[in-house]
Amino acid sequence: MSLSFKKPKKACEDRNCPFHGTLSLRGRVLDGVVVSAKMDKTVIIERKYLQPSSKFVRYERRHSHIPSHNPPCLDVKEGERVRIAECRPLSKTVSFVVVEKLEEQ
């Protein structure tokens, strides 16, 4: 599976950057909103989705928080919509990396 994204204009020397380092991408590509950017080079992405409920024959709203690596060349802030891609595990909880900014809210 070949994943291609726009390369950011800003350069960085992060070895875990998919554009300027050696990190390879594979698997899922997801969209979400940054809800926390307090950690060093890591952000929390919130994904909202609908889960079908067979008992009530309706959908319930749910959300999930996904910790993702934030390369210095993208430098996303809280409230921005971003696209993340799956990569190898970078730490105990981080297995995704931010690959592009979609828009600011």
Inside any domain, residue 20: no
Phi-psi region of 11 (alpha: psi -120 to 50; beta: other; left: phi over 0): beta
* Average pLDDT for 77-98: 96
**Domain containing residue 96: CATH number:** 2.40.50.1000
Task: Report pTM.
Answer: 0.89
**High-pLDDT (> 90) share of the chain, %:** 78
Length of the chain: 105
44 in a domain, yes or no?
A: yes
In a domain, 87, yes or no: yes
22-38 pLDDT, tens digit per residue, is: 999 999 999 999 999 99
d(C-alpha 59, C-alpha 50), whole Å = 6
Q: What percentage of the chain has pLDDT greater than the value 70?
A: 96
Residue 39 domain boundaries: 29-104
DSSP 46-62: EEEEEEEETTTTEEEEE
Count of domains forming the chain: 1
* Other CB atoms within 10 A of residue 18 CB: 22
pLDDT per position as a tens digit, 89-102: 999 999 999 999 99
Average confidence score pLDDT of the chain = 92
Task: Tell me, yes or no, whether 50 lies in a domain.
Answer: yes
List all residues 6 or more positions away from 9 whose beta carbon is below 8 Å from its beta carbon: none
